[in-house]
Structure 1
Amino acid sequence: MSLLYYCFKIKRKLALSMAKSQLIGSPSYCSDLEVHGSFEIIHPENFIYGNGLSINGGVYINAGAPITLGINVSLSAQSMLITKGLEFNDMKNHYAKPITIGDNVQLGAGSIILPGVSITDNVIVAAGSVVTKSINQSGVFAGVPSRLVRGF
């Protein structure tokens, strides 16, 4: 099921349905969530996020497997979190792998996070980058596929 959430409805919808989305890092449900425009989330029951989440317009979240976001995560315009893909040897079958993103992470506009990726704390993923492998070091990552361009 695909749900399209709008800025003026997001907090109310998420607050009414804890089973669809879970907040970590705060005793106050849906506190400190900013939504700037519409975004799409598939399987919202698998989407867990921390305080300080910012979602900009056009973001696409495919949570066919669990997606966990830490505290102070920013999803810039048109960024994508994709947990599902096609099996290479059998293009009729899909697989799903979780995505985990740490604290203080910014995903630049148009960036794509692919299935099975984990991103550590204090990372910036540059606009247009495609993250195909886990990021285990703080810094700025850019390119297709993404690579470290500056450590912190």
Structure 2
Amino acid sequence: MRPGAAGLGVVEVGQKSELQKMAAGERYRGGDPEVVESCRQAGLWMMRFNAMMGATSAERRVVLAERLASVGDDVVVRPPFYVDHGSFITLEEGVFINLGCTILDVCPVSIGAYTRIGPGVQILTPEHPRDPVERRQDIEYGRPVSIGANVWLGGGAIVVPGVTIGDDAIIGAGAVVTRDVPAGATMVGSPARPR
């Protein structure tokens, strides 16, 4: 046996922890102590980051790099910024995220270079079983979201679990992206459709 992450719980050798299952997009128990602790740590981190409204982008970038999986050069994230865990988010070079963005990252979220994200955008990876019995048993899972390079997500857009958005795409303000978006496409509405 070996200790779980952050010294929580014990996991059999060769067996995945609930946090590892979550990151892999497999079914996991949302109330598992390691998963709950990861969310708690993210909450403490958000309190620090969101108090940095008057800080420079460079100062905020240092704090982003403490929690996020990867933060490229010249990334700008304007607080407030909300995450589930933070540790599954990759921001490539030159990404700009405006006020009030929420990224629920129970599995990987990657955002390509020079992508622009408007205020109030939601990027969601969590899923819940359709079976009510499984939902009552605290079973959850997620599907990764991938956003290409040089994408523009307008204010208030929502990206649902499992979506891939190709390079150079434009997502209109308030659009709800429920399926993959080809490179260079412009999508508007709810559900988002080609313009």
Select the structure that is richer in helix: 2
Give the match for residue 39 of structure 1: 81
Q: Distance in 2 between matches of 1:144 and 1:89?
A: 25
Give the match for residue 132 of structure 1: 178
Superposition pairs for residues 1-152 of structure 1, below 5 Å?
Answer: 1=39, 2-3=42-43, 4=46, 5-6=49-50, 7=53, 8=55, 10-15=60-65, 17=66, 20-23=68-71, 30-90=72-132, 91-92=135-136, 93-149=139-195
The normalised TM-score by structure 1 is: 0.84
**Aligned structure 1 segments of 4 or more residues deviating by more than 4 angstroms:** none
Give the match for residue 27 of structure 2: none
1:14/1:21 contact within 8 Å kept: no
- Between Structure 1 and Structure 2, how many residues are aligned? 141
Letter in 1 for 2:69: S
Letter in 1 for 2:114: N
Select the structure that is richer in strand: 1
Which moves more between the two structures, 113-122 or 41-50? 41-50
Larger radius of gyration: 2
Deviation for aligned residue 1:103: 0.5
Letter in 1 for 2:70: Q
Give the match for residue 26 of structure 1: none
Give the match for residue 27 of structure 1: none
Q: Supply the RMSD in Å over aligned alpha carbons.
A: 1.7
Equivalent position SS for 2:97:
strand
Runs of at least 5 residues in structure 2 that lack an aligned partner in the other structure = 1-38
Deviation for aligned residue 1:45: 1.1
Q: Distance in 2 between matches of 1:136 and 1:116?
A: 14
